[in-house]
Chains A and B, each alone.
Chain A
Amino acid sequence: MISRQMRHQLKQMLSTLILLAVCAIFTFPVLWMITASFKSNQEFIRVFPFMPEKFDLVYFRQLLSGRWIPFVQQYISTFLIATFQTIGATVFALGAAFVFARYRFRFSRLLYLLAISVILIPHQVIIVPLFTWINRLGLYDNIFAVILPGTVSGIGILFLTEIIRRVPNDLLDIARVEGASEYQLLPIIYPLIRPGVLTYALIHFILAWHEHFLPLILLDTPEKLTVSVALNSLGSANLRVGYALLMAGGTLTLIPTILFYLVVRRHFDSTLSQLTSV
């Protein structure tokens, strides 16, 4: 008995140690970015000592002052783009996924396949016709040019359909007996699928928040650009600016995604384990 318990403990300890080592490698660039937002260029290139000489907020202040790029406006613009896109994509996909998951009708299978084929031909691939079409609609340099295409999410359909399929049918039948119409069923089952919906929203928000390609092409006014576009142009245009400024920008960009993750992580974990089996 004792040896078995010891083996178990050894296994536990080794697994934890290996994982912590992997975590160290995975988080190293992130920590480097954060500490580098306090470092001068000479300090940055040396990497070691890892900690900056002093934690002076001078680079953050410079970045936020708007002297190099209108960072505050860009941050707000990115936030609006990511938020609207996430809400739109989640709501639209939720409605369609409910129908695909719970009903069979003529062409339902075909419609489903058409919807998820967006995954195969993402907007990035058809960027040129999208660009000319956005121009014709008069949406060029409008943040909705980035928001609206992003609300069409094949991954959202795929993911939420799987989630809604897992709601027991009896529940829907009871609601029907109680007199609920087919349209009222979705609000009724919503509490059950909320973890899944939030999980999808998190995934979409992360991708939308980091959006770089579409804004680069569909937006023009500096104030409307997303932080990814802004930081990249800052990085390649003028190295006199100092790496610390870029790293400070990166550090500030990390905040919303981390917060969102921490808020919904409980749902995130429980949702994913439901996707096993069947």
Chain B
Amino acid sequence: MRTPVVVTETKAAQTAMKTTRKRPPYLFLVPFFLFYCLFWVVPLIAGLNLSMRDSVSGEFIGLANYARVLSLSNTSFWRALYNTSYYLVGTLITIIPAAFALALLLRNAYSRLQGLIRFLLFVPALMPPIVMGLLFVYLFSGRYGLLNNVLLAPFGSPNLDWLKDPKLIKPALIILGIWRWTGFVTMFIWAGLDGIPQAYYDAARTEGANRFQIFRYVTVPLLRPILLFAALFLVFDAFVLFSGAHAILGTGGGALESGLLIVNLIYRTAFYGAGGNFGVATAISYIIVPILVAAVWLFLRLKSSED
């Protein structure tokens, strides 16, 4: 049996007060923060030095690498930033509503089939992204692609060359993202809906709330922790996305670099070919960091000002 935990404001406050008295088991923090310092803080700080040196001579050159990244003649960086943001927004605004709808449907479906449906929805998340990328190449390809031949041709659509046309590469990547994560996010929202006590809905109904009001003022606020977790997960995914795009488009990032993503650009700059430039690649990382922090901060602010 699931017992939804409902803690009221005062009880939470009491809990917080009670916890202050005892001496915390500080040693529990040690393993995490040891590896945290060793494999996250050290590279993060060492990288600052790296980003200010010429990668060939090792000379200190100040902010020259940063200038190179940001100079408008080096359009790859701006393109990669634009593409990654495009991908992030594209996946967020499609996956979360779609997953919400699927989760609501799942609650109405035959209970005997629910277990099977949940498993099937989850399967894409279990697929190796690299194999998925390779499969999508054939799925999206212009002449032989299944998407064109089976789904779009019957509606009289011309053959779209998804992976060659710069306008279609990003939507193709977003479709890949939607396919991969919608079921995963659905699981979270479904379980979240399951955890809302029926009494809340009953109370809202006796107060005379209509369906939309119940959804807006009961369901959504109670699901906030879950929606937030799902959204942060998608942000994380967008900024580390490499496999799918790498498998589909290679190091070039596709026609006009319209599918070039941040991590792929860092990879290409640092490790690809003979002229790998560590200084410039690291500078890209440090330019990205404040942008990421600002984006998430803004996002959290928007979320909390909603209520």
Contact = CB atoms under 8 A, between A and B. Distances in A.
Contacts of A26: 120-121, 123-124, 179, 182-183
Contact of A104 (B16, B247, B263, B289): B16
Given A127-B266, A273-B2, A273-B194, A210 B28 contact: no
Interface residue SS majority, chain B: helix
A55 B94 CA distance: 38
Contacts of B252: none
B36 interface: yes
Given A29-B127, A133-B46, A213-B263, A96 B292 contact: no
B5 A247 contact: no
A65 B109 CA distance: 46
A61 interface: no
Q: Which of A11, A30, A173 has the most CB of B within 10 A?
A: A30
Contact of B192 (A91, A157, A250, A273): A273
Contacts of B239: 122, 124-125
Contacts, number: 326
Contact of B7 (A148, A247, A250, A278): A278
A33 interface: yes
A64 interface: no
A119 to B, nearest CB: 6
B128 to A, nearest CB: 5
Interface in B1-24: 2, 4-7, 12, 14-16, 18-20, 22-24
A271 B3 CA distance: 11
Interface residues of B, number: 110
A62 interface: no
B70 interface: no
B250 interface: yes
A169 B10 CA distance: 13
Interface residues of A, number: 104
Contacts of A250: 127-128, 131, 134
A63 to B, nearest CB: 13
A217 B267 CA distance: 9
A272 B4 CA distance: 11
Interface in A9-51: 11-13, 15-16, 18-20, 22-23, 26-27, 29-30, 32-33, 44-45, 47
A41 to B, nearest CB: 11
A246 B233 contact: no
Contacts of A23: 117, 120-121
Contact of B222 (A95, A231, A253, A277): A277
Contacts of A45: 138, 144
Given A19-B105, A148-B38, A273-B192, 18 more contacts: A12-B110, A15-B106, A19-B102, A27-B120, A95-B28, A95-B29, A98-B25, A103-B20, A108-B24, A120-B292, A126-B282, A133-B46, A149-B40, A182-B23, A231-B134, A272-B190, A275-B191, A278-B6
Interface of B: 2, 4-7, 12, 14-16, 18-20, 22-33, 35-36, 38-40, 42-44, 46-47, 50, 102, 105-106, 108-110, 113, 117-136, 138-139, 144, 146, 179, 182-183, 187-188, 190-197, 222-223, 225-226, 229, 232-233, 235-236, 239-240, 242-243, 246-247, 250, 262-263, 266-267, 270-271, 278, 281-282, 285, 288-289, 292-293, 296
22 contacts: A19-B102, A20-B117, A29-B132, A32-B135, A33-B127, A96-B28, A111-B29, A120-B292, A120-B296, A124-B263, A127-B263, A128-B281, A231-B131, A246-B134, A254-B126, A270-B191, A273-B2, A274-B195, A275-B191, A276-B226, A277-B6, A277-B197
The 9 closest A-B pairs by CB, nearest first: A272-B191, A129-B47, A273-B195, A250-B131, A276-B195, A95-B28, A103-B24, A15-B108, A23-B120
